[in-house]
């Protein structure tokens, strides 16, 4: 089985309509559509003496950076559908009743079940850490555009094997959070991750800087001590010491310069940019329910409707939106005025 870099090259060449011919293990002749002649690419440095005109493709190489840039430019925004979900779950009403915690005083009656496509936007952020070395990391963040929540259940589907480029069903699309707001939510999530990573890296870098600085200061202190001893002996003999004192000044300047270089290398910077964006539409069951008070129950609530959603991908009821504070919840309570609210709300401040 090819290693990840070989697999990337093969898939990239196939995607752009080129040809990749493996002439021997880990050595390929590659012909891209915009090239006049084939290019020989090697993955094994030991193969270069036999193929002096080959380019080595490895992590950190200019060739890999060029291919990654081209690949990103070809597919920065995409649309896919995930339709292989079960849309007729058995005993859906029992599932909802079991997963939601509702006040004893109310009852839910399902009035209508309607499947709609919910858009999920997957943002790939490229983060470049710049310090003593340059390191690039990709952070994928998926946002459910109906609820505006970050989700993690798409992580294991990023291979794309279940995705299709056209929808199977004639369902309408559910309302979606504007893309700009979804992007801001995703960026905020990745910034939190990057900030934590930067704190860790900064601590490690400062610890290393202190150790290196102490070693360097000891090194120059030993040189100065040796030079001071030479000056003392020269003075005792009555010799000229001006050149030795100039050497002292030079050592001090050299030490300051080296310490400044160490501090400069220890500075950390981070660059963040959106590398790719994929919209995935997945059917979800929207369940319209009628909410009423059970006979002889208190407090009384005004009859109304409550829309729940059941996700066939996770086979779970989604956390609904609290009618009072709009936060996600799987548990509702009722205050003395008959108003529904989540457990996080202050019952005294819930609007009747």
The pLDDT confidence band at residue 318, using thresholds 50, 70 and 90, is very high
Task: Write the pLDDT tens digit of every residue in 107-129.
Answer: 888 899 999 999 999 999 999 98
What pLDDT does 288 receive?
A: 92
What value does the mean pLDDT take over residues 175-194? 93
pLDDT at 160 over 80: no
What pLDDT does 205 receive?
A: 86
What pLDDT does 75 receive?
A: 60
Which one, of 183, 200, 56, lies nearest residue 137 by Cα?
200
**pTM tops 0.85, yes or no:** no
More confident residue, 294 or 332: 332
Burial of 341 (0-12, 13-18, 19+ CB in 10 A): buried
Whole-number Å distance between alpha carbons of 103 and 94? 16
Task: Write the pLDDT tens digit of every residue in 222-253.
Answer: 988 988 888 888 888 877 778 888 888 888 89
Mapped onto helix, strand or coil, the DSSP state of residue 309 is strand
Domain ranges of the chain: 4-74, 203-266
Q: Are 277 and 122 in contact (CB under 8 A)?
A: yes
Whole-number Å distance between alpha carbons of 163 and 280? 8
Give, in words, the CATH class of 4-74: alpha beta
The pLDDT confidence band at residue 303, using thresholds 50, 70 and 90, is low
What pLDDT does 41 receive?
A: 94
Q: Are 322 and 339 in contact (CB under 8 A)?
A: no
Residue 145 tokens, joined: 């555009």
Whole-number Å distance between alpha carbons of 212 and 351? 62
Return the residue matching tokens 């600085």.
213
Q: Are 149 and 188 in contact (CB under 8 A)?
A: no
Taken as a whole, the chain contains a residue count of 352
Residue 53 tokens, joined: 């005109």
What does 53-108 look like in DSSP terms, one character per residue? TPEE--TT-HHHHHHHHHHHHHSSEEEEE---S-SS-TTHHHHHHHH-B--TTEEE
Half-sphere exposure in the Cβ direction for 348 (13 Å, CA): 0
pLDDT at 351 over 70: no
Which one, of 147, 119, 89, 107, lies nearest residue 319 by Cα?
147
What pLDDT does 215 receive?
A: 92
Per cent of the chain over pLDDT 70 is 94
| Mean pLDDT rounded to a whole number for the chain | 87
The pLDDT confidence band at residue 59, using thresholds 50, 70 and 90, is confident
Task: Write the pLDDT tens digit of every residue in 67-95.
Answer: 888 877 666 778 899 999 989 888 888 88
What pLDDT does 347 receive?
A: 61
What pLDDT does 306 receive?
A: 85
The pLDDT confidence band at residue 42, using thresholds 50, 70 and 90, is very high
More confident residue, 282 or 208: 282
What pLDDT does 352 receive?
A: 53
Per cent of the chain over pLDDT 90 is 36
pLDDT at 1 over 70: no
pLDDT at 350 over 80: no
Whole-number Å distance between alpha carbons of 10 and 28? 10
The pLDDT confidence band at residue 182, using thresholds 50, 70 and 90, is very high
């Amino acid at each position: 089985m090819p290693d990840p870099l070989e697999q990337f090259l093969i898939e990239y060449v196939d995607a752009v309509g080129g040809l990749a011919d493996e002439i021997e293990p880990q050595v390929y002749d590659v012909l891209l559509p915009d090239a006049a002649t084939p290019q020989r690419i090697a993955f094994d440095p030991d193969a270069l003496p036999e193929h002096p005109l080959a380019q080595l493709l490895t992590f950190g190489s200019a060739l890999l950076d060029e291919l990654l840039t081209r690949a990103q430019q070809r597919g920065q925004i995409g649309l896919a559908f995930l339709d292989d979900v079960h849309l007729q779950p058995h005993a859906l009403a029992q599932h909802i009743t079991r997963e939601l915690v509702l006040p004893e005083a109310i009852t839910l009656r399902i009035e209508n079940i309607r499947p709609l496509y919910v858009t999920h936007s997957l943002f790939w952020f490229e983060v470049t850490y710049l310090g003593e070395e340059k390191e690039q990391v990709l952070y994928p963040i998926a946002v459910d555009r109906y609820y505006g929540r970050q989700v993690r259940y798409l992580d294991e589907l990023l291979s794309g094997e279940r995705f299709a480029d056209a929808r199977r069903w004639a369902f309408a699309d559910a309302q979606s959070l504007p893309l700009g707001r979804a992007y801001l939510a995703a960026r905020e999530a990745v910034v939190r991750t990057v900030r934590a990573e930067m704190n860790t890296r900064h601590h490690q870098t400062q610890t290393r800087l202190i150790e290196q600085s102490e070693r360097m200061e000891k090194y120059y202190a030993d040189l100065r001590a040796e030079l001071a001893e030479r000056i003392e002996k020269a003075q005792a003999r009555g010799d000229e010491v001006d050149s030795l004192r100039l050497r002292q000044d030079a050592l001090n300047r050299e030490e300051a310069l080296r310490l400044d270089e160490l501090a400069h290398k220890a500075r950390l910077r981070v660059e963040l940019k959106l590398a790719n964006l994929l919209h995935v539409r997945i059917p979800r069951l929207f369940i319209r329910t009628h909410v009423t008070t059970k006979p002889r129950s208190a407090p009384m609530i005004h009859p109304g409707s409550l829309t729940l959603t059941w996700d066939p991908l996770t086979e779970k009821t989604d956390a609904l939106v609290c009618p009072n504070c709009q936060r996600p919840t799987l548990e509702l309570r009722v205050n003395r005025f008959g108003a529904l609210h989540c457990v996080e709300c202050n019952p005294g401040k819930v609007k009747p």
